[in-house]
Chains A and B, each alone.
Chain A
Amino acid sequence: MAVLTYRDALTQALREELQRDDTVFLMGEEVAQYNGAYKVSKGLLDEFGPMRIVDTPITELGFAGVGVGAAMVGLRPIVEFMTWNFALLALDEVVNAAAKMLYMSGGQYKMPMVFRGPNGAALQLSAQHSQAWESWLAHIPGLKVCTPGTPADAKGLLKSAIRDDNPVVFLEGEMLYNTKGEVPEGEHIVPLGVAELKREGDHCSLITHGKMVLVAMKVADDLAKDGINIDVVDLRTVRPIDVDAISRSVQKTNRAVVLEEGWEICGMGSQVVDFIQRECFDDLDAPVLRVHQEDVPMPYAKNLERAAKPDAGKTMAAIKKVMYLD
């Protein structure tokens, strides 16, 4: 199997879907001439031309709305945001138009479109450009939210997202684009709403998604050296969320830690913990703990940024605590 970067896996998915279905098109800031701010659309302008790879002005609300209109008349737009921090400006189209169109048109208009771009913190981009939005977006009925953490999942989920008839929010990561992994060639589809057990162990469940999957895998490796074997449950899609996968794991291990990139209050972890307490109450041997960004705007200073982010050390400590080992 080919080893690709997360970026190339996305490009591959875009290319394959653009080839497969000529109603699919990509638009966004600098996606065409510049090959994408993060080079995800590299080579696509040359291959598919300016009608399908469309540069837009710096008007997030505007081109998101164009995407909604295109979807209403039968195209399958992929709207790229340079980052989800900029997409805040477009949320009216995402939340009020795309997410509700099928419902408010009485089923007349499907909304087969994808909003994609990097989410969460990179390095020293400071408070306004280091935010993880998945819990905001997953809150909205009508949206589906993908958070791939590996190149293979990035490809498989993007292909599913493009083919889905509902608006799909697709959250990538600047720090993920260069990570590498094996990616199946061709028709590799990861269904929306299906988690993957990325590591198996009996001692604790570590439930996570997106960029934090990499942290979780490191934690699993480190703990294995101490003889502690954990389940790493990668949700992959945070809406719909795979409650069965969470329950199966927690019912086996009797304890859980939920790791996410964003803030604590109303975070994805809050929702996961809620499912756990409902589905696994009699299986729990310890309160479920959460690991997340500290409850502050992301600091710019390198040392403070490091302290504010969730990391392997904090995750390991939480796991030892729920195992009553600390």
Chain B
Amino acid sequence: MATKVVMEALSPTMEEGRLVKWNKNEGDQVKSGDVLAEVETDKAVMELVARGDGVLRKRLANEGDASPVGTLIAVIANPDENIDSIVGSAGGGAAPAAAPAQPAQETQAPQAGGAQPNQAVTDTKETPAKSPVPQAPAQSQGEASTAPQQKAAAPAPSASAPPSRPAPPRPPSAPAAPPRGNGASRPPATGGGRQRSSPLARRLATEKGIQLGGIQGTGPGGRIVKRDIENARAAGVAAGRSAAAERLAKEGDFKDVPLTQIRKTIARRLAESNGPVPTFFLTAEFDATRAAEMRTQLTEMGEEYKVSFNDIVIKAVALALAEHPEVNAHWLNDKIRQFNRIHVAMAVAVEDGLITPVLFDADRMTMWDISGKAKDLAKRARERKLLPEEYTGSTFSVSNLGMFGIDQFTAIINPPEAGIIAIGGVEAKPVVIDGQLEVRQRMRVTMSCDHRVIDGATGAKFLQTVRQFIENPLSLII
């Protein structure tokens, strides 16, 4: 039984993947779960694992090739199994120049008037998870089906369907009839990268909030069918919804605020005026002298106590968010969702872009927890080793360009979040305090606010709280 290896959606937003490196050669024995290749998604380099056992018979993508999600890129099968029809089905131009795409077209043509059209494809057994007992409908008729199921395990379940019988009845062709469309009998046109799914599977996925993108279909041609949705749900992977997203969706962890008329009007009018996310900016200058002193003292205490300004700000923002749930919120078009838990994303520059790993429950982490975790995330972000659940699911974001000598900037909101704080560098400045000119360490902070969620005064109050924490940094430790 052959297993098709397709380019899987390894991130919620991935549409195509670049094959960075094959870890297995043609002819290698592979087991389900083995890492076949490394694939660069839009966010990170991920591992593509085998979904079946056998020999890696054919690789259809070369290192460096980019393939749309769903494209056939390899075939795992028994050593002596005929995989021509599967390889032939690659077609569609998505596969690399390597010849295999060609035969598919050729074998198709003569079938049109042939005596037994459609037969070839029937033999491609793509279903990796075969079972004599239907799994999908198992939820009902519990008792009735138990006994025969157990029985079926012993004798070969296919006894009633002798192998000598020709392929399952499929409409025989009228002489000279054009090839008729029975979707299932056509070679899968994976070339276009379109993910096939049954109508029922699509409906179930919608009802259960599962995105089809991350599921590998086990039906013919990789079609996602009911059992795939149920398996995805059972496995809890709910592809496309990372663990973090699940965390956010947990009941009781948020409060949905229905939109009042005034809120709706504000949202509509401001979006008309200022793009889809009507943003305004609040800038404040905090006195970071005490924070700087604390940081110096901590550094003197030893490496394990050392924290960065970034860590201090994240901790301060997280604690402030706990006091201002109206800022720790998502705009969901028909409502505002205020979260009870605080997951702060931090923007990290990587070689060719940026990514926002998340510090989950940042308000409950000590500053040293934050420091250690942030370092680890930043390092792995630069190595493109982050897992999707590590960079999704945030409720608010912080961006810091202080280390680049930027004293002030505005950051772009990461929707559906309602705000982001941009941190400039800490620098010594003359300030007037109680009528006296003093040199203080100052830090300029700009908050971008989605006006549909946050009004000016709301944002200002939140920034006041952040200021209190940063200007009284002991409160971040106790």
- Whether the Cβ atoms of B134 and A325 lie closer than 8 Å is yes
Q: How far is the CB of A277 from chain B (nearest CB, A)?
A: 9
CB distance from A279 to the nearest CB of B (A): 12
Bits for B77-89, please: 1 = Cβ < 8 Å to A, else 0.
Answer: 0000000000000
Encode B124-139 as 1/0 by CB contact (under 8 A) with A. Answer: 0101001111101100
Cβ of A196 < 8 Å from any Cβ of B?
no
In the complex, whether B403 has a CB less than 8 A from a CB of chain A is: no
Indicate if the CB atoms of A226 and B168 lie closer than 8 Å: no
**Do residues A226 and B198 form an inter-chain contact, with CB atoms below 8 A?**
no
A253 to B173, alpha carbons, bound, how many Å?
A: 28
List residues of chain A with CB within 8 A of the CB of B169.
289-292, 310, 314-315, 317-318
A295 touches B172 (CB 8 A): yes
A-contacting residues, B126-161, CB 8 Å? 127, 130-134, 136-137, 140-141, 144-145, 148-149, 151-152, 157, 160-161
- Cβ contacts under 8 Å, B171 to chain A: 264, 290, 292, 295
Judging by beta carbons under 8 Å apart, are B184 and A227 in contact? no
Give residues 171-208 of B contacting A (CB, 8 Å).
171-174, 182-184, 198-203
Q: Are B132 and A285 in contact (CB under 8 A)?
A: no
Interface digits, B401-425 against A, CB 8 Å rule (1 contact, 0 not)? 0000000000000000000000000
Q: Are B218 and A289 in contact (CB under 8 A)?
A: no
The CA of A310 and the CA of B218, in the complex, are separated in Å by 29
Query: Quick check: which of B219-227, B245-253, B317-325 contacts chain A, the rest being far away?
Result: B219-227
Contact across chains for A227 and B132 when beta carbons are under 8 A apart: yes
CB proximity to B under 8 Å, residues A267-292:
281-287, 289-292
Whether B168 pairs with A318 at a CB distance below 8 angstroms is: yes
- Whether A227 and B168, one on each chain, are in contact in the complex, defined by CB atoms closer than 8 angstroms, is no
* Those of A302-321 within 8 Å (CB) of chain B: 310, 313-318, 320-321
Cβ of A225 < 8 Å from any Cβ of B?
A: yes
* Best-buried of A285, A316, A325 by chain B (most CB within 10 Å): A285
Chain B residues numbered 208-242 whose CB sits less than 8 Å from any CB in chain A: 218-220, 225-227
- For B137, B162, B203, B227, the residue with the greatest tally of chain A CB atoms inside 10 Å of its CB is B137
Known: A289-B169, A317-B168, A326-B168. A225 touches B160 (CB 8 A): yes
Question: With a CB–CB cut-off of 8 A, which chain A residues contact B201?
Answer: 285
Measured in the bound complex, the distance between the Cα atoms of B109 and A81 in whole Å is 47
Out of A282, A287, A292, A295, which one reaches B184, CB within 8 Å? A287
Asked whether any CB of chain B lies closer than 8 Å to the CB of A174, the reply is no
Could you tell me if B198 and A286 are in contact, using CB atoms closer than 8 angstroms?
Answer: yes
Q: How far is the CB of A318 from chain B (nearest CB, A)?
A: 5
In the bound complex, what is the Cα–Cα distance between A264 and B202 (angstroms)?
30
Q: A295-B174, A324-B219 are in contact. Are A222 and B148 (CB under 8 A)?
A: no
Q: Would B199 and A282 count as touching, CB distance under 8 A?
A: yes
Least CB separation from B174: chain A residue: A295
Q: Does A294 contact B (CB under 8 A)?
A: yes
Give bound CA distance, A291 to B399, whole Å: 64
CA distance A229 to B133 in the complex (A): 10
Q: What 0/1 pattern do residues 203 to 224 of A give for CB contact below 8 A with B?
A: 1000000000000000000111
Asked whether B134 lies within 8 Å of A323 as measured between CB atoms, the reply is: yes
Per the bound structure, the CA–CA distance linking A287 and B223 in Å amounts to: 11
Chain A residues near B137 (CB-CB < 8 A): 202-203, 253-254
Min C-beta distance of B61 to chain A, whole Å: 27
- Residues of chain A within 8 A (CB-CB) of B165 are 313-314, 317
Contact across chains for B160 and A286 when beta carbons are under 8 A apart:
no
Q: Is the CB of B182 within 8 A of A287?
A: yes
Task: Contact check, A227 vs B130: say whether CB atoms are below 8 A apart.
Answer: no
Of A222, A283, A317, A325, the residue contacting B131 (CB under 8 A) is A325
> Is A240 at the interface (CB under 8 A from chain B)?
no
Residues in B with CB closer than 8 Å to A222 are: 160
Which residue of A is nearest B168, CB measured? A317
* B residues less than 8 Å from A265 (CB atoms): 174
Most buried by B among A287, A290, A310: A287
B461 in the interface (beta carbon within 8 A): no
Among A265, A295, A324, the one with the most B-chain Cβ atoms within 10 Å of its Cβ is: A324
B379 within 8 A of partner (CB):
no
In Å, the complex CA distance between A201 and B144 comes to 9
Known: A227-B151, A289-B170. A316 touches B200 (CB 8 A): no
Number of A-B contacts (CB under 8 A): 117
Contact among B136, B152, B200 with A225 in the assembled complex (CB-CB below 8 Å): B152
A282 lies within 8 A of B132 (CB): no
Contact between chains at A281 and B168 (CB < 8 Å): no
CB distance from A266 to the nearest CB of B (A): 11
**CB-CB < 8 A to A321: which residues of B?**
168, 184
B160 touches A223 (CB 8 A): yes
Q: Is A285 in contact with B133, judged by CB distance below 8 angstroms? A: no
User: What is the CA–CA distance of A289 and B201 in the complex, to the nearest angstrom?
Assistant: 18
Contact with B along A172-214 (1 / 0, CB 8 A): 0000000000000000000000000000011100000000000
Q: Which residue of A226, A253, A313 contacts B157 across the interface (Cβ within 8 Å)?
A: A226
Contact A285 B168 (CB under 8 A): no
A226 neighbours in B (Cβ, 8 Å): 132-133, 148, 152, 157, 160
Q: 1/0 per residue A104-127: CB within 8 Å of B?
A: 000000000000000000000000
Kindly provide the distance from the CB of A144 to the nearest chain B CB, expressed in whole angstroms.
Answer: 28
In whole angstroms, what is the CA distance A234 to B168 when docked?
22
Question: With a CB–CB cut-off of 8 A, which chain B residues contact A264?
Answer: 171-172
Which of A253, A264, A265 gathers most chain B CB within 10 Å? A264
Query: Which interface residue of A222, A265, A310, A317 has the most chain B CB atoms within 10 A?
Result: A317
Give the residue name and chain of the B residue nearest to A253 (CB): B137
Q: A290 to chain B: closest CB distance in Å?
A: 6
Distance in angstroms from B377 CB to nearest chain A CB is 41
Closest-by-CB residue of B relative to A267 is B171
B167 / chain A contacts, CB cutoff of 8 Å = 317
What residues of A have a CB within 8 angstroms of the CB of B149 in the complex? 227
* Cβ-neighbour of B127 out of A227, A253, A287, A324 (below 8 A): A324
Task: Give the distance to chain B from A189, nearest Cβ to Cβ, in Å.
Answer: 32
Chain B 422-436 interface 0/1 with A at a Cβ cutoff of 8 Å (1 = within): 000000000000000
A137 in the interface (beta carbon within 8 A):
no
- Give the most central of B144, B145, B149, B161: most A CB within 10 Å: B161
CB-contacts of A84-118 with B (<8 A):
none
B132 touches A281 (CB 8 A): no
Residue A54, interface by CB 8 Å:
no
Which residues from chain A contact B170 at a C-beta distance below 8 Å?
A: 289
In the complex, the chain B residue whose C-beta lies closest to that of A308 is B172
A290: chain B residues at CB < 8 Å are 169, 171
B173 lies within 8 A of A229 (CB): no
List 20 A-B pairs, Cβ < 8 Å: A202-B145, A226-B148, A226-B157, A264-B172, A282-B199, A282-B202, A282-B203, A285-B199, A285-B201, A295-B173, A295-B174, A310-B169, A314-B169, A317-B167, A321-B184, A324-B225, A325-B127, A325-B130, A325-B132, A326-B161
Instruction: List 7 additional contacts besides A317-B165, A324-B127; criterion CB under 8 Å.
Output: A203-B134, A203-B137, A225-B160, A253-B137, A281-B199, A286-B184, A287-B183
4 closest residue pairs by CB, A with B: A317-B168, A314-B169, A227-B148, A227-B149
Q: Which residues of A contact B (CB under 8 A)?
A: 201-203, 222-229, 253-254, 264-265, 281-287, 289-292, 294-295, 310, 313-318, 320-321, 323-326
